[in-house]
C-alpha cells in the first residue's frame, strides 16, 4: 500500500493549541470591542450561489479571478465566499424589516485563490463590522475610532490611511476617462506604494490611456498634499462628484478632530482600494512601523451594493470595515507580543486517587474556574514540568494523605508557595 503524503493544501495552515489560543484571544478582544460599540452578531453561509458573488455589485473583476467555484450534484453553480461583505448585503436585501440603522459584526472563514505572503493565505479569517442606514460620515468616524480601540487593546501601533473615491473618480472624469476604464485606472493607481511611477505610467499606457491623460496623472502624482487639495477645490466648481467628495472629506475630518484621533488618521489622496464596490470614503490600516507591509484592516462606503443586488434603484447607505485575523496574528508573532492564550486557573494532579480528583475538578468548574484534570499517569515531577511550560497559575495535588484529611494541596506556580484547602470528597 502506497504511503499517503500528508500535507496541507497550499495557502492553508494548521494552528496548534499555543498559536490558536493567541488567535482566540485576538478574536475575543475584537468581539468585545464590536459589542461595546453596539454591533449585533450574524452568521452567513460559506457556500453561495456563484451568480451572487459574481454580481457587478460584488468585488469586481480582479477578485473574481481568485474565487473558488464548484458545482453540487444538482449541477448548481456555487462558490466559496471571498469576503463577508456581499453575503451581508444579501442578508439586508432579503430582510427588508430590519430596523435601521443596522450595525452588525461577523467573524468567519473566507477563501481566495490568490498570491501567498506573510499573513495572506488562501483560507483566512475576516472580522467585519458594517453599518447600514447612515448617510453621514459619523458612521465612518465611528468605525475608524473602533479600529483604533481594537488595536490599542492589542497593544499595536497603527495608522489609518483614508481617501474618498469620489475625488479620484471626479479627477479621472475631468480627463475624459469614463466607464470601466475608471476602475481599471484606479486599480493601477492602487499600486502606487508597491511599484515605481514609471511602472505606473507604463501600465496606464498598456491600459489604452492617451498621452495627455497620462501626463495629467503624472503631474497629479507629483503634487504635495496641499497642491492636490487645491486642485480638487478648483475642479469642484465644474465636477459635482468632486464637490460631494470634498464635503464628505471635510465632514469626516471634523469628526476625527472631535474624537482627537486625527494624528492617527492620515489622508492619502492616492489610496484607491481597487474593489469596484466602493462609492465614497475608503480606508486601510497599517502597522505604523511597517514591519508588515500589507494592510491589517480595510473598508469603506458602498452605497450601491444592496440596492443593486435586489434590482432596485434605491441606495442603502452602507459603510464597513474588515480586520484580517491571520495578518494581525502574523504581525503580533513578529513583534513577540505580550499576547498569550488564556491560562488555566488550576491543573489537578491525582496521585493514585482519580475518583476524588475528578470530583474536585467538577467542584472547581462549578465555581467558574478553568480546570484541567491530568488524565494520563504522569509522575508528579513530569506533571509539574507540564504545568510550568503551559503557564498554569495553580496546581492541585490529590493523594492518599489529602483524601484522608479531606483536603487538597495547592501550589502557586509563580511563587512556589503551598497550602492545604478543605474539601469534602
Please give the annotated binding residues for L-histidine, written as ranges.
Answer: 83-85, 112, 126, 130, 273
Contacts (Cβ under 8 Å, ≥6 apart) of 129? 34, 37, 39, 103, 104, 105, 143, 146, 320, 321
Query: What whole-number distance in Å separates Cα of residue 85 and Cα of residue 55?
Result: 12
Q: To the nearest 10°, the Cα dihedral for 219, 224, 230, 234?
A: 10
Which cell numbers hold the place of 97?
Answer: 424589516
User: How is residue 39 annotated by DSSP?
Assistant: P
Query: Do the beta carbons of residue 147 and residue 285 sit within 8 Å?
Result: yes
Binding residues: 83-85, 112, 126, 130, 273
For the beta sheet containing 77-80, the strands, ordered from the edge strand earlier in sequence to the opposite edge, are 47-49, 77-80, 69-71
Please give the order of strands across the beta sheet that includes 346-350: 371-373, 346-350, 394-398, 407-412, 418-422
Q: DSSP readout, 163-232?
A: EEHHHHHHHHHTTT--THHHHHHHHHHTTTTTS-HHHHHHHHHHHT--HHHHHHHHHHHTS-HHHHHHHH
Amino acid at each position: 500500500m502506497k504511503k499517503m503524503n500528508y500535507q496541507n493544501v497550499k495557502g492553508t495552515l494548521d494552528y496548534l493549541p499555543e498559536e490558536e489560543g493567541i488567535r482566540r484571544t485576538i478574536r475575543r478582544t475584537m468581539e468585545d470591542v464590536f459589542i461595546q460599540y453596539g454591533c449585533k452578531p450574524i452568521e452567513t453561509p460559506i457556500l453561495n450561489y456563484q451568480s451572487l458573488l459574481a454580481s457587478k455589485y460584488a468585488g469586481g473583476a480582479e477578485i473574481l479571478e481568485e474565487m473558488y467555484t464548484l458545482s453540487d450534484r444538482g449541477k448548481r453553480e456555487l462558490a466559496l465566499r471571498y469576503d463577508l461583505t456581499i453575503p451581508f448585503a444579501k442578508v439586508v436585501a432579503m430582510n427588508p424589516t430590519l430596523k435601521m440603522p443596522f450595525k452588525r459584526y461577523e467573524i468567519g472563514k473566507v477563501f481566495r485563490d490568490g498570491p501567498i505572503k506573510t499573513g495572506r493565505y488562501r483560507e483566512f479569517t475576516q472580522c467585519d463590522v458594517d453599518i447600514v442606514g447612515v448617510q453621514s460620515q459619523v458612521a465612518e468616524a465611528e468605525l475608524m475610532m473602533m479600529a483604533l480601540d481594537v488595536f490599542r487593546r492589542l497593544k499595536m501601533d497603527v495608522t489609518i490611511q483614508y481617501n474618498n473615491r469620489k475625488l479620484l473618480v471626479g479627477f479621472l472624469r475631468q480627463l475624459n476617462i469614463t466607464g470601466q476604464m475608471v476602475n481599471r485606472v484606479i486599480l493601477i493607481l492602487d499600486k502606487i506604494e508597491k511599484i515605481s511611477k514609471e511602472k505606473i505610467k507604463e501600465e496606464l499606457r498598456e491600459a489604452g490611456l492617451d498621452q495627455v491623460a497620462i501626463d495629467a496623472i503624472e503631474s497629479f502624482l507629483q503634487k504635495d498634499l496641499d497642491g492636490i487639495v487645491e486642485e480638487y477645490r478648483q475642479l469642484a466648481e465644474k465636477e459635482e462628484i468632486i464637490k460631494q467628495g470634498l464635503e464628505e472629506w471635510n465632514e469626516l475630518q471634523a469628526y476625527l478632530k472631535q474624537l482627537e484621533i486625527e494624528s492617527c488618521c492620515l489622508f492619502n489622496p492616492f489610496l484607491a482600494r481597487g474593489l469596484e464596490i466602493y462609492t465614497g470614503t475608503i480606508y486601510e490600516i497599517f502597522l505604523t512601523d511597517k514591519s508588515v507591509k500589507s494592510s491589517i484592516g480595510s473598508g469603506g462606503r458602498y452605497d450601491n451594493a444592496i440596492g443593486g443586488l435586489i434590482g432596485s434603484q434605491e441606495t442603502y447607505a452602507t459603510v464597513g470595515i474588515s480586520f484580517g485575523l491571520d495578518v494581525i496574528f502574523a504581525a503580533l508573532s513578529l513583534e513577540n507580543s505580550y499576547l498569550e492564550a488564556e491560562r488555566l486557573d488550576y491543573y489537578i494532579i491525582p496521585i493514585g486517587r482519580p475518583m476524588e480528583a475528578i470530583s474536585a475538578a467538577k467542584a472547581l468548574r462549578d465555581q467558574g474556574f478553568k480546570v484541567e484534570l491530568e488524565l494520563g499517569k504522569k509522575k508528579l515531577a513530569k506533571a509539574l514540568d507540564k504545568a510550568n511550560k503551559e503557564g498554569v497559575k495553580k496546581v492541585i495535588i490529590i493523594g492518599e494523605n489529602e483524601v484522608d484529611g479531606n483536603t487538597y494541596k495547592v501550589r502557586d506556580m509563580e511563587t512556589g508557595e503551598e497550602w492545604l484547602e478543605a474539601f469534602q470528597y
